[in-house]
Amino acid sequence: MKKLIGCIGLIISVCVFSSSGFAVSLDNQLVVEEQQFAAGAFEGPGTCLGCHHEIHTQWSHSMHAYAWQNRWYQDDYRLAHRETAGATDVLCGACHAPIAARTGQLPPHDGSAFDATARQGISCDFCHTVSDVNRLYNMGHVSSPGNLKYGNRGDGSSPYHGVKYSAVHRSAEFCGSCHNVKHPAGGTAIIDTYDDWKSGPYAEQGITCQHCHMTPGPGQGVNPGKSSPMGMERSNVAFHGFVGGSSFAQRKMGNEAQAQMAEEMLRAAAELELEAKRDGESLSLTVHVDNVGAGHKIPTGVTYIRKMWLEVKVEDEQGNTVYHSGSVDAKNHVDPEAVFYRLLFEDGEGNLTGKSWRAVGIGYDRRIPANGRDSETYAIRLPAEQGVYETTVRLMYRSFSQESLDFHDGADAPRIESVEMARSTLRIPQ
């Protein structure tokens, strides 16, 4: 990894930007793709299908396969394109359509020049022709497309291609080069999953992204079998579903099994603990949220698009609600007064924004670190009757806000589902 440090300045030399942000010539690209190959230099995933059928099926249901065509990505990408006069096209495309960006098929921004391989997002041959990583943010992968496929083994043989052991593929740096996004004009950390993992307890123990995201699911650490029917029997074959929290998108695209895996992943991340002190009509309720399962903060990634919050409900013995925070209204909007775990940026005018391209700094950041805890105390006024009360607290997650879906789709907007990550109840005696 020594090479990494020497190359960190690279982006400066290839970026056209000014510290004053987007006030400058917006017709310039914020990032220019550093490596260029001929169209067709990368093989399509269909070429790998015949011999790596299971891996292909897993990958084809992963968010990596949808990284470009995903319509919720496209909404945000097109908005960025319009608001920056195209300055963000190659920046976004470098990660969401890396083959297109590296083979001169992007721009134009609308994908009209993409071939079938480029459209399939982050596919087999992009990842398996990576020979090195020279920058740990904004896509610093070094591509060496060709017949040699780089992977985590190197001891097998294939009648179709060469195999080469690559330590990079076993490392978090391989993922981190994309799962770490910095604003090219000011350095604001847009996505910090890798940096956050690196400074946390899991990196110290050598537990990488692959250990949790390239296994079949929480608690299923191994996946014995063959990576190809022609290959060797292995005690663990890398699982390619790359499951995260995207149950909504997966369900909308018809991938029910992958949607359920995402919900399982979300439920593995957190636990709740409640403490209450009652003094007549006043109830002091403390909610502790523990990050017990994620190797990074929860939430992580594009948390400025996602929403995680606490729902707190107190009911009397007849089931009447006497207190409710974090409820969802008839329009499917979350109570704006709820406790939210996410990140929002500050724009040039000092306003909070979820538009990453406008970020000049961080405006709001409340997340729960790996193995860490967040605590919130609610001061609740109970009715005068001296009854027994039942408290229910839920930690909730949404991949998008209903407001942003409404913005893009108007009256036709789908209703975003809320996933319960954790729940705890407490009876409050007299």
Give me the least distance between CB of 411 and ligand HEC, in Å please: 22
Neighbours of 369 (CB within 10 A): 16
Angle (nearest 5°) at CA 244 between 241 and 247? 95
Give me the least distance between CB of 25 and ligand HEC, in Å please: 18
Instruction: Specify whether the CB–CB gap between 169 and 153 falls below 8 A.
Output: no
Q: Which of 4, 51 has the CB closer to ligand HEC?
A: 51
Give me the least distance between CB of 357 and ligand HEC, in Å please: 5
DSSP 88-109: THHHHHHHHSHHHHHTT---ST
Instruction: Specify whether the CB–CB gap between 347 and 359 falls below 8 A.
Output: yes
Q: CA 357 from chain center: how many Å?
A: 17
Q: Which of 262, 312 has the CB closer to ligand HEC?
A: 262
Give me the least distance between CB of 141 and ligand HEC, in Å please: 6
Mutual angle of helices 71-83 and 89-96, in 10-degree steps: 160
Q: Which of 218, 387 has the CB closer to ligand HEC?
A: 218
Q: Which of 89, 311 has the CB closer to ligand HEC?
A: 89
Give me the least distance between CB of 153 and ligand HEC, in Å please: 3
Q: Which of 222, 352 has the CB closer to ligand HEC?
A: 222
Cis peptide before 299 (omega within 30 of 0): yes
Give me the least distance between CB of 59 and ligand HEC, in Å please: 4
Q: What are the φ/ψ torsions at residue 246 (nearest 5 degrees)? A: -80, 60
Alpha-carbon distance of 195 to 208, in angstroms, equals 12
Neighbours of 166 (CB within 10 A): 20
Sheet-wide strand order for 270-279: 270-279, 282-291, 373-381
The three-class DSSP label of residue 78 is helix
Give me the least distance between CB of 119 and ligand HEC, in Å please: 13
Q: Which of 179, 285 has the CB closer to ligand HEC?
A: 179
Q: Which of 54, 315 has the CB closer to ligand HEC?
A: 54
Q: Which residue(s) pair with 150 in the sheet?
A: 164
Angle (nearest 5°) at CA 121 between 168 and 229? 65
Q: Is 27 exposed, middle or buried (0-12, 13-18, 19+ CB in 10 A)?
A: exposed
Amino acid letter, residue 60: S
Q: Which of 48, 360 has the CB closer to ligand HEC?
A: 48
Give me the least distance between CB of 350 and ligand HEC, in Å please: 21
